[in-house]
Chains A and B, each alone.
Chain A
Amino acid sequence: MKMRIFLLAMWLMPMGMARSSTPDIVSVKGVNVFEQTIRAVELLGGIDRFVKPGNKVGILVNSDFREKGAYVDPEVVIAAIKMAFDAGAADIVFLQPINPEYWTRTPLEPEYRELIARTREIKENQFPAVFSEEVFVKIPEVEGAVSAKDLELVKELFEVDAFINIPIAKHHATTILTNSMKNLMGLNTRASNVKFHLDGPSRNDPEFLAQCIADLYLVRRPDLIISDVTYCVVTNGPDGPGEVVSPQMVVAGNDPVALDTYCALQIGFLPEDVLTIQKAFEIGLGEKDLSKLNVLEVYYE
């Protein structure tokens, strides 16, 4: 099938400012999630920009929910592993295990079963992950972090050449938005995550939790983020069921602040309400003013 792309001429850069050749964020709207994902990465400069031949690639996916709109569409993940293998990845490891049933939620599963079988996963990082020296590493202090300390993170995170983060943009009662930044809590043992919730000035303090999530990003920044913004739970998150919106977008980039700001707006949240965006901006993780960025929005038919 010949692919057709309709550029919506949405370069959100102010006139007169120098525009970089590669967009900071690419958003591909459509109804074919697999192809939208491929196209989003191509327009971001291609998978070769992030994965080199012989690389070991780590992927983190928000897959551990049952309700549609609360988990990443498996077609996004299949597209990502296809691209990574095509780029010459020698080894792809899921940093958090994926339930085999998850893949059957897409009709593409039979076609890509063998490809999926070539990947590995860190089974021990299954919820509620418990620390062991074989699988996790302790990080007492994080340079530049404000609140997070004594982390216990998946060891292989530090052994991969490329790290791809695949979240879904959706509601979370405490952080309002969960997307590229909050997804990184999937790298932690449960004990580390519980500290994020409970070790603040008060129990489940939203400011403390948001700061810890932003700090976590300082440990190992993902090289590529592919966010599922196709069908998203916007109330009663993170597990749903709840009200859903359907922006039908796959969004790619590698600035978590910009990406979360953009995705928040697509699902009807005010970025100012999302404390992770504010905290991450304050510690220099990225740009929250989209008018300063090169945002490319296209429609895939």
Chain B
Amino acid sequence: MSKTNFLLRFCLLAFVLFSFNAYGQTALDLLPADEWMPGWKQSYDVLAYEDDDLFFLINGGADLFLEYGFSDVAAVEYRHPSEGKIYIEVYRMDSDSAAFGVFSLRKGSLQMEINPSPWVVYGEDNLHLWQGPFYISVSTSGLSSLGKLKAFAMLMAHFPKMAPGENRVPVLFGNHRESESSNATYVLGPLGLNNFYHFGHGNILKVTEALAITRDDSREIILNYPDDYTAQKVFLSFSEHLGGSNRYSDYQIEDSELLAKDLRNNTVIARLKGQKILFSVRKPE
């Protein structure tokens, strides 16, 4: 074999291996094997589902995963004879953005720790991780504080090893990364938006991508459109809807800004800014 031929074959093999790492892994591949910590074993066969069959794993909320773009999931419980139980769900989403979206949604108000990879948040008994196209949810039962810390540290090292690579944050989120990253949820689609504010049935705002930032006294929702023209068209159509809707009162419009009160007496302000519509929903004082 000539040197050139060898180099070509080597490059091809490296490309195949790289592609396998980046795209070929399923959720099942990422689950830790028995004895990932001494004495910890799976207590039943792994549950694995693809596409719409996710409804057989999640009781309430599967529709949201599907809207974000879901591929497959693997879930299992690990038990230790004396230390407790750890339940792990690994979701493979269609993209890094989709995985980040469900991560930001499911973590609730927990503060996240931003690393090159993975991104993690801890609760009292649970851990959420985002690593590339994977969202991982871990919950524990019966573990001591030290036991939990040890398990969480092991898992935080395990998943990047299994799915290496740096996380790619959605551009819309990236703009807010420094200031309010822990309060921001990345939304893909109208159901996700419904989780923060319901503007009415029928996807009136034609939402595909948004960022929802929750603060003590207000919520900011940033809707992103492909271009200025689309944003303007949606804004005009929404202002017509707002004027004729019984969900709002004290409706005012000025240039590219709308103001109204909703049913809970929140002040709703909408502003058109380039290819974005910026909503602010402020609680009554």
In the docked arrangement, what's the CA distance between A193 and B67, Å?
18
In the docked arrangement, what's the CA distance between A268 and B262, Å?
10
- Cβ of B60 and Cβ of A238 under 8 Å apart? yes
Residue of A with least CB distance to B196: A235
- Cβ of A203 and Cβ of B66 under 8 Å apart? yes
- Cβ of A128 and Cβ of B59 under 8 Å apart? yes
In the docked arrangement, what's the CA distance between A268 and B67, Å?
25
B195 to chain A, nearest CB (A): 5
Given A128-B59, A241-B109, A173:B66 Cβ within 8 A? no
Q: What residues of chain A lie closer than 8 Å to B105, measured between beta carbons? A: 236
Q: Which of A92-139 contact B (CB under 8 A)?
A: 127-128
Q: What residues of chain B lie closer than 8 Å to A64, measured between beta carbons? A: 59
- Cβ of B108 and Cβ of A128 under 8 Å apart? no
Digitize B262-281: 1 where CB-to-A-CB distance is under 8 Å, 0 elsewhere.
01100000000000000000
| Residue total for B at the interface (Cβ-Cβ under 8 A) | 29
Q: What residues of chain B lie closer than 8 Å to A206, measured between beta carbons? A: 201
Tell me if A247 is interfacial: C-beta within 8 Å of chain B: no
Q: What residues of chain B lie closer than 8 Å to A173, measured between beta carbons? A: 61, 63-64, 191-192, 194-195
Q: What residues of chain A lie closer than 8 Å to B63, measured between beta carbons? A: 173-174, 197, 204
Q: Pick from B26-34, B50-58, B169-177, B222-230 the stretch touching chain A.
A: B50-58
B63 to chain A, nearest CB (A): 5
* Cβ-neighbour of A273 out of B66, B67, B201 (below 8 A): B201
Tell me if B147 is interfacial: C-beta within 8 Å of chain A: no
Q: Give the most central of B57, B109, B194, B247: most A CB within 10 Å.
A: B194
Q: Is the interface of B mostly helix, strand, loop or mixed?
A: loop
Chain A interface size range: 20 to 34
B284 to chain A, nearest CB (A): 12
B188 to chain A, nearest CB (A): 13
* Cβ-neighbour of A237 out of B56, B192, B195, B263 (below 8 A): B195
Tell me if A194 is interfacial: C-beta within 8 Å of chain B: yes
A61 to chain B, nearest CB (A): 14
Q: What residues of chain B lie closer than 8 Å to A128, measured between beta carbons? A: 55-57, 59
Q: Which of B47-97 contact A (CB under 8 A)?
A: 52, 55-57, 59-64, 66-67
Residue of B with least CB distance to A265: B263
In the docked arrangement, what's the CA distance between A65 and B58, Å?
11
In the docked arrangement, what's the CA distance between A241 and B110, Å?
10
* Cβ-neighbour of B195 out of A197, A235, A272, A273 (below 8 A): A235
B168 to chain A, nearest CB (A): 25
7 contacts between A and B (CB under 8 A): A65-B60, A128-B55, A173-B63, A173-B195, A237-B60, A242-B108, A243-B214
